């Protein structure tokens, strides 16, 4: 595949340049690197019509054939890994090695998901009747993805939706549309026309999709604030929704950890992808017995980390992805400054082109501070002292969010016991952010509705149908 700077939408198997376009910015330089099509309502209608037309054929295709197509799509990503990696770094900002990891993860997700099957339950098989419950595809899925992991989070939706027999209209974020548009070129070669349509556009396109009567389901990943709008907009036509939303994950560090050995791992729990991960550690509670030495070890490690343009060798952390998020992170830092909290490192704006924020770590800000209570989604971490487990669990759970969380300790059983008291969709012990295509992932409370991944995630792209067949009915001659 050519990575030649041409970006078109895919609608019903045809490439569509669209009328208007919008610029895509490299966040490391603030320069436009390409333009993407700005879909009109007519483009959206055409994509929905194409997906609807393709649905009966795709739903009727044997599941083994659908799996073969998903495997081929995954292989095609691997075959074009270098091009995808470079493109992703240029539009998202993440360092080359992380972009490569994400693209490999995207290919892996498509392939690994094919291990799953749609189960059938025999409810009754008696002399009178046979009753079976099965899972049938919903129809057309509208998929809306965010900018922090554009490739892999799109595949979280493509893999289960298509495997289950649905067709799809996929919309990436306007900040990171390019890698998804290139993925559409692979889909055009491998999938029947209309099974996967990719459209790009500005702020109106998402709301047009969620209100469109032609969708049977909306699968959305993004902020909690937008998630509420998506659910409201989907309600009039009772579309099914899966909402993967924001988080404010707590990490709880017990006093029996090896401070020097754990510091680097804890740092990356918070700062991988520049903190722009829904399941990043966003507040770190450290037991009072090790607070000072662990704080110092994390800060010492932070000072060795190279922040810069993701395309440069050796860069470990790139810029924030876009100007809106950059302004939000700077505003949270300014609030912490205004309140007089202690900065262990960072806290200033980097005076260079690009949306760069230096790694910022705060020393024990109050529990009710904005930096502890809000989702920062950037390279700013509050370290917080605790001395009582009941109290720290209560603080970890005192949030409208419930996405992830982690407990770290040498006494693995005690850590595991503590982990089970955290109210969130996923809790890790002595690691974090490990996700699998074969495990359900989702948020409790206002971090989401439904799950992605695993059999539970696959079933969210289906309707449950019970078939009852009477045997030897009296009128049958």
Can you tell me the distance from the alpha carbon of 288 to that of 285, in angstroms, rounded to the nearest whole number? 9
If the CB atoms of residues 100 and 224 are measured against ligand NAD, the closer one turns out to be: 224
Among residues 170, 179, 180, 166, which one has the least CA distance to residue 144? 170
Q: Which of 145, 294, 359, 458 binds ligand NAD (CB under 6 A)?
A: 145
Can you tell me the distance from the alpha carbon of 303 to that of 375, in angstroms, rounded to the nearest whole number? 24
Residues 6+ positions from 321 with CB-CB distance below 8 Å: 27, 92, 93, 147, 148, 175, 176, 276, 355
Q: Which of 146, 165, 346, 354 binds ligand NAD (CB under 6 A)?
A: 146
278 among known catalytic residues: yes
Please pick, among 244, 375, 452, 460, the residue that the annotation labels catalytic.
Answer: 244
Q: With CB under 6 A as the contact rule, which of the stretches 35-43, 244-252, 259-267, 455-463 interacts with ligand NAD?
A: 244-252
Strands 462-470 and 31-37: unpaired
Alpha carbon of 466 to those of 135, 147, 261, 265: distances in Å? 9, 39, 54, 48
Question: Is residue 178 involved in binding ligand NAD (CB under 6 A)?
Answer: no
Can you tell me the distance from the alpha carbon of 264 to that of 288, in angstroms, rounded to the nearest whole number? 19
Compute the least distance from the CB of residue 219 to ligand NAD, in Å. 11
What part of residues 181-240 is at the interface with ligand NAD (CB under 6 A)?
A: 206-207, 210, 221-223, 226, 229-230
**Per-residue x/- mask for ligand NAD, residues 409 to 428, rule CB under 6 A?**
--------------------
Q: With CB under 6 A as the contact rule, which of the stretches 109-117, 145-153, 234-242, 360-368 interacts with ligand NAD?
A: 145-153
Q: Which of 185, 216, 249, 375 binds ligand NAD (CB under 6 A)?
A: 375
Long-range contacts of 341-348 (CB under 8 A, 24+ apart): 341/365, 341/369, 341/371, 344/295, 344/299, 344/383, 345/299, 345/302, 345/303, 346/379, 346/380
What number of other Cβ atoms are within 10 A of residue 222's Cβ?
A: 22
If the CB atoms of residues 206 and 382 are measured against ligand NAD, the closer one turns out to be: 206
Residues 6+ positions from 290 with CB-CB distance below 8 Å: 253, 255, 257, 259
Compute the least distance from the CB of residue 379 to ligand NAD, in Å. 15
Among residues 440, 375, 37, which one has the least CA distance to residue 227? 375
Ramachandran category for residue 68: left, alpha or beta (phi over 0 → left; psi -120 to 50 → alpha): alpha
Compute the least distance from the CB of residue 207 to ligand NAD, in Å. 4
Compute the least distance from the CB of residue 225 to ligand NAD, in Å. 7
Question: Is residue 245 involved in binding ligand NAD (CB under 6 A)?
Answer: yes
Phi, psi of 131 (to 5 degrees): -125, 125
If the CB atoms of residues 220 and 267 are measured against ligand NAD, the closer one turns out to be: 220
Contact indicator for 454, 426 with CB cutoff of 8 Å: no
Structure tokens at 283: 């507040």
Question: Is residue 401 involved in binding ligand NAD (CB under 6 A)?
Answer: no
If the CB atoms of residues 140 and 299 are measured against ligand NAD, the closer one turns out to be: 140
Please work out the total of residues on this chain that contact ligand NAD, with binding judged by CB under 6 A: 28
Residue positions counted in the chain: 477
Q: Which of 346, 365, 443, 450 binds ligand NAD (CB under 6 A)?
A: 443
Compute the least distance from the CB of residue 113 to ligand NAD, in Å. 16
If the CB atoms of residues 200 and 360 are measured against ligand NAD, the closer one turns out to be: 200
Can you tell me the distance from the alpha carbon of 423 to that of 420, in angstroms, rounded to the nearest whole number? 8
If the CB atoms of residues 112 and 193 are measured against ligand NAD, the closer one turns out to be: 112
Compute the least distance from the CB of residue 22 to ligand NAD, in Å. 12
- The two counts, helices (H) then strands (E), for the chain are 15, 24
Alpha carbon of 140 to those of 51, 67, 177, 212, 244: distances in Å? 6, 18, 21, 11, 19
Question: Is residue 144 involved in binding ligand NAD (CB under 6 A)?
Answer: yes
What number of other Cβ atoms are within 10 A of residue 145's Cβ?
A: 27
Compute the least distance from the CB of residue 214 to ligand NAD, in Å. 15
Compute the least distance from the CB of residue 44 to ligand NAD, in Å. 12
Q: Which of 58, 377, 428, 461 binds ligand NAD (CB under 6 A)?
A: 377
Q: Which of 98, 216, 244, 460 binds ligand NAD (CB under 6 A)?
A: 244
What part of residues 271-290 is at the interface with ligand NAD (CB under 6 A)?
A: 278
Among residues 18, 73, 52, which one has the least CA distance to residue 200? 18
Question: Is residue 158 involved in binding ligand NAD (CB under 6 A)?
Answer: no
If the CB atoms of residues 95 and 378 are measured against ligand NAD, the closer one turns out to be: 378
Chain-centre distance of CA 32, in angstroms? 25
Please pick, among 278, 375, 452, 460, the residue that the annotation labels catalytic.
Answer: 278
Compute the least distance from the CB of residue 62 to ligand NAD, in Å. 31
Question: Where does this chain bind ligand NAD (CB under 6 A)?
Answer: 144-148, 153, 171, 173-174, 206-207, 210, 221-223, 226, 229-230, 244-247, 278, 375, 377, 403, 443, 448
Catalytic residue list: 244, 278
């Amino acid at each position: 595949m050519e990575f030649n700077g041409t970006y078109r939408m895919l609608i019903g198997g045809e490439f569509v340049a669209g009328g208007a376009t919008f610029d895509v910015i490299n966040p490391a330089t603030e320069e436009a690197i390409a333009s993407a099509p700005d879909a009109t309502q007519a483009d959206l209608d055409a994509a929905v019509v194409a997906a609807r037309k393709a649905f009966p054929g795709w739903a009727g295709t044997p599941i083994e054939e659908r799996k073969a197509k998903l495997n081929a799509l995954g292989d095609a990503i691997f075959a074009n890994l270098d091009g995808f990696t470079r493109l992703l770094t240029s539009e998202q900002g993440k360092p080359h090695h992380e972009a490569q990891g994400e693209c490999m993860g995207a290919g892996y997700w498509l392939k690994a998901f094919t291990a799953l099957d749609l189960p059938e339950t025999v409810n009754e098989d008696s002399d009178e009747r046979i009753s079976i419950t099965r899972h049938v595809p919903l129809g057309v899925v509208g998929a809306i993805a965010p900018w922090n992991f554009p490739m892999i989070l799109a595949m979280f939706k493509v893999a289960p939706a298509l495997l289950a027999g649905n067709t799809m209209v996929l919309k990436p974020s306007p900040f990171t549309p390019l890698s998804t548009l290139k993925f559409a070129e692979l889909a055009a070669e491998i999938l029947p026309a209309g099974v996967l349509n990719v459209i790009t556009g500005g702020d109106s396109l998402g709301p047009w999709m969620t209100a469109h009567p032609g969708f049977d389901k909306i699968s959305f990943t993004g902020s909690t604030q937008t998630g509420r709008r998506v659910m409201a907009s989907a309600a009039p036509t009772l579309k099914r929704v899966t909402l993967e939303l924001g988080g404010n994950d707590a990490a709880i560090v017990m006093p029996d950890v090896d401070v020097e050995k754990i510091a680097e791992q804890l740092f990356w729990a918070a700062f991988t992808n520049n903190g722009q991960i829904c399941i990043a550690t966003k507040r770190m509670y450290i037991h009072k017995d090790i607070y000072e030495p662990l704080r110092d070890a994390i800060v010492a490690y932070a000072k060795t980390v190279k922040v810069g343009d993701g395309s440069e060798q050796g860069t470990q952390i790139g810029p924030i992805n876009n100007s809106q998020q950059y302004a939000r992170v700077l505003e949270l830092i300014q609030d912490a400054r205004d309140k007089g909290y202690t900065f262990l490192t960072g806290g200033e704006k980097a005076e260079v082109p690009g949306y760069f924020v230096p790694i910022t770590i705060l020393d024990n800000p109050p529990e009710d501070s904005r930096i502890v209570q809000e989702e920062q989604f950037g390279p700013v971490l509050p370290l917080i002292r605790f001395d009582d487990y009941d109290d720290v669990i209560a603080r970890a759970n005192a949030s409208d969010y419930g996405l992830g969380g982690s407990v770290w300790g040498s006494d693995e059983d005690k850590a595991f016991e503590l982990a089970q008291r955290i109210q969130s969709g996923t809790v890790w012990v002595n690691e974090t952010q490990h996700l699998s295509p074969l495990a359900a992932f989702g948020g409790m409370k206002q971090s989401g509705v439904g799950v992605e991944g695993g059999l539970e995630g696959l079933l969210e792209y289906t309707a449950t149908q019970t078939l009852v067949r009477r045997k030897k009915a009296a009128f049958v001659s």
